[in-house]
Amino acid sequence: MNKNDVVYDQFQRKKIKTEMYIKHIIANFLLFNIPDRSILRESYVTIIKVRISPDLREAIILFTVRENMKSKLKSINKTLTTIIKDIKNIISKNMKLRFIPNLKFKYDKNFDEANRVCSIIQKISPSQ
């Protein structure tokens, strides 16, 4: 293992730790700082993953919602966008980063695709 591999490995660890900590901060914010009547509380927004760019300046937060709330995704995404400033403020207070990443929320379609594939498999597989 040469010096470049060690530096890259350290950077990867920092990136992964940053992603995990930002995910934790956002999940706690949604759990404890959102009013009970909010659309975010009613839709059970779940943070799936945080993907941060290599320069740590951009972060995409992947989320999913309860099945019956998918028709309201536009308003949920809009509401999530309005709380970005508050989340960045908490990140800046709790993390020692040179730059606070720009946050962008994105609905994670992987669960929908997995459910669709499972339903197709169940239809074509013989009943046992």
CATH of the domain at 102: 3.30.300.20
- Give me the domain span that covers residue 73: 3-124
Task: Tell me how far apart the terminal alpha carbons of the chain are, to the nearest angstrom.
Answer: 53
pLDDT at 103 > cutoff 70: yes
pLDDT score for 8: 67
**Per-residue pLDDT band at 10 (split at 50, 70, 90):** confident
Nearest to 77 by CA among 65, 67, 68: 65
pLDDT at 128 > cutoff 60: no
How big is the chain, counted in residues?
128
* Relative orientation angle of helices 84-94 and 73-82, to the nearest 10 degrees: 40
- Token pair in block for residue 89: 């403020």
- Token pair in block for residue 12: 């990867």
Task: Tell whether pTM > 0.85.
Answer: no
Q: Exposure of 42 by Cβ count < 10 A (0-12 exposed, 13-18 middle, 19+ buried)?
A: middle
Nearest to 81 by CA among 117, 107, 56: 107
| Torsion angles phi and psi, residue 50, rounded to 5 | -115, 125
**Average pLDDT of the residues in 15-42:** 87
As for how many domains the chain has, the answer is 1
pLDDT at 91 > cutoff 70: yes
pLDDT at 125 > cutoff 80: no
